[in-house]
Structure 1
Amino acid sequence: MENGSKLYYGIKEVADMFAINASKLRYYEKEFPTLQPKKNRSGDRIYTQADIDHLKEILELTNEKGYTLPGAREYLKIKESNQREHAVYINKLKRIKTFMEKMRAGLDKPQPDQEKEPDAD
């Protein structure tokens, strides 16, 4: 399914990949707002690999996992929301990591008052 040689695929090519009609692809575009392939100058739909991957996920949910269309939409909506939330936490953790690395680097440097030899009494 993953063909890295092309950037864009026509609706017929994508329909053939999944053994479905082009009309079903157009229907899914109406049912799933997240599936919006771009159109070229002549108005033909052009699908990217990301569009194809998203369509594959939709078809897996509806055909293999038994989701209804509204159920699949809700599942994808919740999944996207969770991904955004996780991205926020990941960014916070990256900032904390950077701060901690700077703190550690600062601890490794000798401090001005530590460079002096203690006086022998």
Structure 2
Amino acid sequence: MDAEVDLISIPPDEELYKKQYYSISIVAKWFRVNNSLLRFWENEFKILKPKKNKKGDRFFRPEDVKNLQIIYYLLRQKKLTISGAIKHLKAHKENTEVNLQIIHSLNNFKSFLLELKTNTEK
């Protein structure tokens, strides 16, 4: 599970909220998934509402990226099915957001401690 957490590379909130929209290709790179998977998740999960231009290109708001983090967590880390993740979001969205924030904080703290350990061993 720790290995999968490290796979996604979403910028910190301060940086994420500097822009209003991100293209689907950038967001897909952050999550290391195909654009088609993001489009599929958009159709399945009502909380994803990327803006589309006249051409049909999708642009994700920072809120959409945060919702994608929750979806990724439920599907890839908790190994829920799509229908299970949808039910979970309906019943426990706020708790899941809090849990995800705690997991990220703990992972950041773990990285800090590992870096500290590496620096003190030199």
* Unpaired runs of at least 5, structure 2: 1-9, 96-122
Match of 1:40 among 53, 65, 69: 53
Match of 1:74 among 77, 87, 95: 87
C-alpha displacement of 1:47? 0.2
Amino acid at match of 1:74: K
Q: 1:23-34 counterparts in 2 under 5 A?
A: 23-34=36-47
The residue aligned with 1:4 is: 17
* Unpaired runs of at least 5, structure 1: 83-121
1:16-66 per-position Cα deviation (integer Å, ceiling 9, x unaligned): 010000000001011112212111233211100000000010000111111
Match of 1:17 among 30, 37, 46: 30
Q: For residues 12 and 21 of structure 1, what CA distance do their matches in structure 2 show?
A: 8
Spell out structure 1 runs of 4+ moving beyond 4 A: none
1:64-86 per-position Cα deviation (integer Å, ceiling 9, x unaligned): 1111110000011112599xxxx
Fraction of identical pairs, as percent: 40
Larger Rg: 1
Q: For residues 9 and 19 of structure 1, what CA distance do their matches in structure 2 show?
A: 15
The residue aligned with 1:62 is: 75
| Partner SS state of residue 17, structure 2 | coil
> Which of the pair is proportionally richer in helix?
2
| Partner SS state of residue 54, structure 2 | coil
CA RMSD in angstroms, aligned pairs only = 1.8
TM-score with structure 1 setting the length: 0.62
Q: For residues 30 and 90 of structure 2, what CA distance do their matches in structure 1 show?
A: 25
